[in-house]
A and B are shown apart, each in its own frame.
Chain A
Amino acid sequence: MIEAFDIHFSYAKSGAEILRGLSLSVADGEFVALLGTNGAGKSTLVNIISGFERQNLGRVLINSADTTKTSAIELAGMRAVLEQSFEPAFDPTAFELVLMGRYARTGALGNSDEDIAAAAESLRMTGLSEFADRRYSTLSGGEKRRANISRVLAQIYSDNGDYKGKNLLLDEPCAALDPAHSLLALKTAKALSKAGASVLCILHDPNQAFRFADKVALLKDGKIFFEGSPSEAANACMLSEVYGADCKITSAPDGFPVAIFC
């Protein structure tokens, strides 16, 4: 469960206030999609909720624990974060990268059989099993993304399939992914939320939000501009205003709303 209250954030240098008293919550078993324009502050919000960015006014609770008063290792046991793209130093293999996600669970004796199994299963979940021994630098952009999704899955992996009390923060999981792998990533996140996890997912495509989210939140001018069900969010007028581009809503053959910008 994630609860953020009255979050304010300004950049230290320019002093520009990017988040202005934002509040947002994600219940157990809920999949919340966060939408907004580039630079709206979505990634900053994820960094604040994860506990990494601490220069903010307001309060963030993860499973009712205040993130500023909780140790890194305790937080890591409760929530995992998919960051935007990055390059690890010294070029680990895909498997080594995924195993690093197990840091919080690894004891002094090194990786247990359980860690190895969780890493292998997490690679399988993104369809990367065959790439386990490939160096990170030799992977394509989409494969790197999937390897990192696997790393995040390994961090909160539960071998009994119960994900209650686990929280997942995903910053554009579908960036650089082809349609099939985007679908796989979102289906995996959806399955975890069905198994009890709280999922907060930044998305760029509103249509993915309509299809997978239980709740859609629109970030505009440093606040949650709208929060509601996907069908309520599929409002041409509102989306036009948020994105600053003309939006029309139609519907897919299977009934989900589709937003088209033109």
Chain B
Amino acid sequence: MTGKRTARQTAVFATLAILVLSGALLSLYIGSVHISLPDIFSALLAKGDETARVVVCDIRLPRLVAGLLAGAFLSCAGAAMQSLFRNPLADPSITGVSAGAALGAVLVICVFGQGALGGYALQAGALFCGLAACAAVWFLGRSRSGGVSVLNILLTGIAVNAFCGAVVGFMMYSARESGLKSFVFWSLGSLDAATWSVLVPCAVLGGIALAVLYLNADALNMLHLGQKQAFHAGVNIRRVQFAAMACAAALTAVSVAACGIIGFVGLVVPHILRLASGADNKTLLPLSALGGAALLTYADIASRAISLTDAVPIGAITSFIGAPVFLFILSNSRQTR
């Protein structure tokens, strides 16, 4: 936390940036309609063939942007949660946000029917219920004396998650077949529903949360010492805890609203990058944003490579690739320590 970038951090940063850029190009390139790279560029600049323009700008680009945003948002939310809870196993779902957001979305579908899929009501419902679940965890999880107990919040989060998941399950069961597809969407994630009308508000809200989180990076670092030690060093504990919770919740809720629950990204990306370049949130947050964006972009490419017409749920891919990589890195780091 010297505030100076090391050569290693620069190398990690450059690698991730190249991965994101190449992944983005690849993601725009592959698809059922063949469009050459020069045509993709001219389509991005709103020139050239009308069909290519529609395919690139209205189908492939929103999909790419959804992956980039959700990856960046979830990873940064995970990094913040891990700092806040001083625990590398923390991830955004711990706050109850993702399960709450999924419940909100499913409620909206039940009330408004399938037509709501992709509309604002759905996103708003997901966002509202996600934040409500997080608020419930926050207030129920506080200790009786008014202080914030990390353990209480973790346990309350687990209970709220289980409860929301159960309600989603019940509703899906009663919705039968028509509900099954949206159940898969909300529980395993998908970039299929990404449209500009959804992405723009998500990007704005998430961008604000990222900025607030970054401004609190130093204070978040201090929480690694423990609440008492951080307070003694001058940290306003309540404020930074609230800011981190609220930002992580907002980031998770908007990505769930846009793409459903995509697991493992928020846990694995910050963890791997912390091993690679240190725990300082001033560098970890930007690196996590890039890393998460890269992971989801490639996961989406993989899901479409498996089946172009009916993409495999992206959450299944992230966990499928992420888990072995994670285990490999963990076993390696244990040897070096």
Contacts and interface: CB of A to CB of B under 8 A. Distances in A.
A3 interface: no
A111 B218 CA distance: 10
Interface in A33-92: 47, 50-52, 55, 71-73, 75-77, 80-81, 83, 86, 88-92
Given A88-B224, A90-B88, A106-B218, A111 B234 contact: no
A111 B1 contact: yes
A155 B233 contact: yes
A72 B221 contact: no
B231 A96 contact: no
A209 interface: no
Contact of A103 (B88, B235, B337): B235
B145 interface: yes
B279 A12 contact: no
Most buried by B among A47, A72, A86: A72
Nearest to B85: A89
Nearest to A105: B234
Interface residues of A, number: 36
A61 to B, nearest CB: 17
Interface in B212-253: 218-219, 221-222, 224-226, 228-237
Contact of B234 (A75, A83, A95): A75
A90 B237 contact: no
Contact of A100 (B145, B231, B233): B233
B232 A81 contact: yes
A77 B337 CA distance: 36
A237 interface: no
Most buried by A among B1, B87, B224, B337: B1
Given A92-B1, A111-B1, A104 B234 contact: yes
Contact of B1 (A47, A71, A89, A100): A100
Contacts of B237: 72
A88 B144 contact: no
A94 B87 CA distance: 20
A100 B225 contact: yes
A90 B234 contact: no
A101 interface: yes
A76 B234 contact: yes
Given A72-B237, A83-B229, 19 more contacts: A12-B145, A50-B232, A52-B228, A71-B236, A72-B236, A73-B235, A76-B232, A76-B234, A86-B225, A88-B226, A89-B86, A92-B224, A95-B2, A96-B2, A104-B234, A106-B218, A110-B4, A111-B2, A111-B3
Interface of B: 1-4, 83, 86-88, 144-145, 218-219, 221-222, 224-226, 228-237, 274, 279-280, 282, 337
9 contacts: A12-B145, A50-B231, A73-B234, A75-B234, A90-B274, A99-B2, A100-B221, A100-B222, A104-B234
Give the top 4 A-B pairs by smallest Cβ distance, nearest first: A110-B3, A76-B234, A104-B234, A89-B86
